[in-house]
Homo-oligomer: A and B are copies of this chain.
Amino acid sequence: MNTEQALLTLKRNREVLFALRHAASILGIDGETVAPSGSAATRAKTMGEISRMTYDLVTDKEASAALEYLFEHRDELDPVDRRNVSELYRHLDDTRKIPKEEAAAFSMLLAESSAVWHEAKIKSDFALFEPYLEKVFDGMKKRASRLDPERDPYDVTMDRFERALNTAKCDAFFGELKPRLAPLVAKIRKSEQIDDGPVVSLFTVEEQRKISDFAMDFLRLDRRYCSLGETEHPFMAAVDKHDVRIHTHYYAENFLYSMYSVIHEGGHALYELHIGNELQGTSLAGGCSMALHESQSRFFENYVGRSRPFTDRLHDFLTKTFPGRIDSVSKDDFYRMVNKAGPSLIRTEADELTYSLHVMIRYDLERRIFDGSLAVHDLPKEWNRLYGEALGLDVPDDRRGVLQDSHWSNANIGYFPSYALGSAYGAQYLAEMKKSFDPLKAVESGDLTPVENWLEDKIWRHGKMLDPADLFRSVCGAFDPSVYADYLETKFNALYN
């Protein structure tokens, strides 16, 4: 064997694997969007077969020999190949630790649990979902013990989304953040409340679709490569940089929900649309980690989308497109309404300030299920207790409680901290950008080019070339949650005087 031959063997193997992943990705999107509900069992079987074929290809004798050869000779490779080979080698190593049939059964489970969650949420029926959720948590614990029996299984699981993140780091982060947020939330609860009711329910679903188009255009999302669809729980999925999908959900009673979902998922989409061309076809062609990903989505959702210059432009758009609807609402009031803060039931609708409190609840619950101190069966009760404790709320039903997020049905456990981490990263991006240009001026002008160019240059194009903590450090230096806490204090003290 020589390097050139080995690279060719690997490339051919990866092309077939990519096709299987592409198929699995589209089957997954289809299942979450337009597939009839009764199709879940067949789809689960197909996912199982694709998992088996994928396993066989990853562990294929010839291809894995080539990979091992390349890994031994990685110092001779160019930087992209070197990183690609290292990542693939790590993935091969992980794959070999999990028996093929166990992996296939878990893929099938996820296809089913996703469909059952969907039904359970609509019916607000946790009992329907419980047996599946139990299996998902058990499966993830087993996976963790197979991958690394020495480490804490929840840490191993978090690694899947954020390499090298662990409970120690999360605890430190939340430990710093919570004491700064809690008094602010308490103060706001005692302040005069902002009433956004009359404004947010003004637009029909058909009109909200036009507002989505406005948001997509504002983010400069290229519709040739980025589609917009509908689903129960908003998500972005990418096949490659030429096939990125945003999905939102329209509620007639709140146009802000669908619009901020589009902007949030649009931030994810921008990342995937701008991965460097030289990484296409390698394992590095995707967002670096989930915290990095959420740092993009949350950046556009909040630092851009909930900024005063954006709400002013949105106000202009709405008064022009739908005359007579919000004309009597001043831009000052509109900004305050959009940024209304305070305890709420739904994470994805939460204001910037309380958002991380939602995340901390999920983190706490996951961790305790992993260490065995909480049973899946007791999740709803415990969920509701924590929402009472942290946010002073009564959860009226599981649809607006423990069933609200799709994540667990897809085994996205250990994922939630990424949202808070990503939100905090954004405050540091903003500070960094201000050293060379004014990002809010760009929002005001309606042309986000400088913001997007900066993010593309610093983050997007690099894909997975660096580990996430290293990538963040290369952009902003040390991670400092106080920048985020300062930002929130300044913004919400001003809003609520």
Contact = CB atoms under 8 A, between A and B. Distances in A.
A120 B242 CA distance: 20
Nearest to A57: B53
Nearest to A39: B243
Interface in A38-72: 38-39, 41-43, 45-46, 48-50, 52-53
Contact of A36 (B45, B50, B52, B243): B243
Nearest to A30: B26
Contact of A224 (B22, B36, B48, B245): B36
A227 interface: yes
A393 interface: no
B229 A49 contact: no
A243 B48 CA distance: 17
A273 to B, nearest CB: 10
Residue of A33, A36, A53, A229 ringed by the most chain B CB atoms within 10 A: A36
Contacts of A244: 36
A34 B242 contact: no
Interface string A174-208: 00000000000000000000000000000000100
A229 B50 contact: no
A42 B227 contact: no
A125 to B, nearest CB: 17
Contact of A35 (B49, B50, B222, B227): B227
A68 to B, nearest CB: 24
Contact of A242 (B30, B38, B224): B38
Contact of A19 (B19, B29, B38, B45): B45
Contacts of A26: 23, 26-27, 30
B239 A37 contact: no
A363 interface: no
B22 A53 contact: no
A223 interface: yes
A223 to B, nearest CB: 7
Contacts of A240: 42
A34 B229 contact: yes
Given A23-B27, A46-B23, A50-B19, A36 B225 contact: yes
B34 A19 contact: no
A18 interface: yes
A8 interface: no
A478 interface: no
Given A34-B227, A36-B226, A223-B36, A41 B206 contact: no
B42 A242 contact: yes
A226 B39 CA distance: 9
A40 to B, nearest CB: 9
A480 interface: no
Contacts of A46: 18-19, 22-23
A364 interface: no
A164 interface: no
B226 A19 contact: no
Interface in A114-143: none
A217 interface: no
A184 to B, nearest CB: 41
A16 interface: yes
Contact of A53 (B16, B34, B239): B16
Interface string A230-256: 000000000110111100000000000
A42 B225 contact: no
A53 B52 CA distance: 13
A35 B225 CA distance: 9
A242 B41 contact: yes
A114 to B, nearest CB: 15
Interface string A210-226: 00000000000011111
Interface in A145-184: none
A51 to B, nearest CB: 10
A470 interface: no
A81 B18 CA distance: 35
A245 B39 CA distance: 11
11 contacts: A18-B46, A19-B50, A23-B23, A23-B27, A36-B225, A36-B245, A37-B224, A38-B225, A38-B243, A41-B242, A206-B206
Interface pairs A-B: 9 shortest CB-CB: A19-B49, A39-B243, A23-B23, A38-B224, A19-B46, A38-B225, A36-B227, A22-B46, A38-B242
